[in-house]
A and B are shown apart, each in its own frame.
Chain A
Amino acid sequence: MTPNVLIVAEVDSGRLSLPTVEAAGVARSLSGPDGKIVGIAGGAGAAGAAIEFGEYGIERAYAIDDPRLDGAPAQAQTAYIAAAASAVGAHLVLLGGSTAGRDLAGRVAVAWKAAAANGVTELAWAGEALRVQRPVFGGRATEARLLRGGRAVVSLRPHAFPAAAVERTTCAVERAPAASVPPALLAPRRTGVEAVPKGTGPALSDAPIVVSGGRGVRTPENFRLIEELAASLGAAVGASRAVTDAGWRPTSLQVGQTGRSVSPQLYIAVGISGAIQHLVGMMSSRVIVAINNDATASIFRVADYGIVGDLFAIVPALTAEIHRVRGI
């Protein structure tokens, strides 16, 4: 079998988003030498973004030429994506692990009569079927499923895959096959975005490294120690519920069952005891480091590396050491 893959672009400020670039990498490793990989981009800046597929060795892409899609929700592209998937004889439609990608997968699966999976961490062909693996129950278990029938729609878990290597080629951009968009999908309008404050490091759900502080930090002023450690690593700052409940930091930083689930490469928990509500939100991180003065804290049971000690001594020392090693 020579699997053909359609990659759905998510355009972020006129460029392919990081999740899309991760998807491009997966597509290249999944598609054999004879398989086709085709990109598709829609909405404002679609043509420019489609050309950018060439940066990652993808030679062909569709641009959806439909001005109604500018400012419309990504779901308005559903019919175009399904039509393009059929046109290229795709076996797999691959979406990035973004909010929009996850939202789109179910729609595209229905429109294209495919099986689907969201938040996938591993995928491989098993004959005509695609075997996908994904964490479930907040990382307490994994499930593997077979997507059968020769048509699969998959979104990836963010950061589960490296971004595609740069391999410049020329991407031939064509107009996407025509499709009919239900007017109902064009009606919703975005009325505003409150951007994540700049200068505070990467967004929590996106960051490859997260440094979180908990009750052990004791005061809102002391939370500065967490932020300085995060800055030294170029990491995002997170917090336990105790911190956001107390109003020391905004709830948007809360990691846990009632906040955000994160799965970075490295998670550093400082002064966090490890209540299950917190653990559920970070347990699927690749490497977990815990710093706590209580040797019996639950966080040490899920951590890979632990330091028992006074965070007010350890954290500044760690920040200084990282500055020294990174030469900043």
Chain B
Amino acid sequence: MEIVVCLKPVPDAETRLRPRADGSRLDPEGVKFVLAGYDESAVEQALLLREAIAGSKVHAVSFGPPRWTEEVLRAAIALGCDTATAVESAGEEAGDPIAAAEGLLGAVEGMPHDLVLLGKQAGDDEEGLVPGALAEMLGMPHFGYVVDLHWDGAAQRLRFGRSAEAGQETWESPLPCVIGLQQAWNDPRTAKLPAILKSRRAPIAKVSPPAPSPERAASVPERFALPPPRTGAKMIAYRTPEEAAQQLVRILKEEAKVFP
């Protein structure tokens, strides 16, 4: 099975978020962009499938400025992906998920792809538009919120779970298919130190994104803001547990207005 796993460089979890001077978006200055969260689960899933199905290959693809995608793709190689392809953007498109899907599309179409895996959403904007957009462009079915993906070789079907409002669903789908994975259900592996060293020397293929189609509606970042710092809890003083309970219920009713 030829598996493509699409990875978005996202700011490291320890990043101190700060708007750019014009206030329109996150200031990327000094931010370390890494492979994280849902995308780590996608890589893990790809590697598990490759281990289960003889002759499979995993191709990592990432869209973004080369400085960001390089670290993500090297991390993917260190984890065991077979090839790495960077779709180079200037970074300004980063706020537009449909543009990201268009960028990924070119790379995915240029390589064998039975199955396309992604995080169900990115760890930074948490938007989850790319899997559906990319699948629509590719004319494939797609599913987000997926856990526990298996290939049923006899039936030639993917089988997977999906967490939805009604409960835990199970689905089957033929290939080709696009899958957005839930985070960390599969305990992603950690790259081994010698593999990290080796990944530094691995080749990364470069692809240019298509020119943006002029008739498409655009999504333009306007403002990135941090919430006012929570000043800490208002502590409820009390003498007895009963008094604490009465006070809290009163506050929830009268002040916070959230009492059912």
Contact = CB atoms under 8 A, between A and B. Distances in A.
Direct contact of A and B (CB under 8 A): yes
Interface stretch (A23-31, A36-44, A163-171, A182-190): A182-190
A100 B164 contact: yes
Interface residues of B, number: 86
Contact of B172 (A131, A189, A196, A287): A189
Contacts of B26: 141
Given A103-B143, A105-B129, A141 B256 contact: no
Nearest to B25: A143
A317 B242 contact: yes
Nearest to B223: A144
Contacts of B223: 143-144
Contacts of A194: 167-170
B192 to A, nearest CB: 22
Contacts of A257: 37, 183-184
A317 B242 CA distance: 5
Interface string B209-245: 0000001111111111111001011111010111011
A304 B234 contact: yes
B170 to A, nearest CB: 4
B165 A106 contact: no
Contact of A103 (B132, B216, B233): B132
Interface in A133-183: 134-152, 182
Interface stretch (A46-54, A58-66, A318-326): A318-326
Interface string B148-165: 000000000001001111
Interface of A: 12, 17, 73, 75, 78, 98-100, 102-107, 109-111, 113-119, 131, 134-152, 182, 184-185, 187-196, 203, 205-206, 208-209, 233-234, 252, 257-258, 265-266, 286-290, 300-310, 313-314, 316-318, 320-322, 325-326
Given A98-B165, A300-B235, 14 more contacts: A106-B130, A114-B217, A116-B97, A119-B127, A137-B124, A141-B224, A141-B225, A187-B141, A189-B171, A252-B163, A304-B230, A307-B248, A318-B244, A325-B253
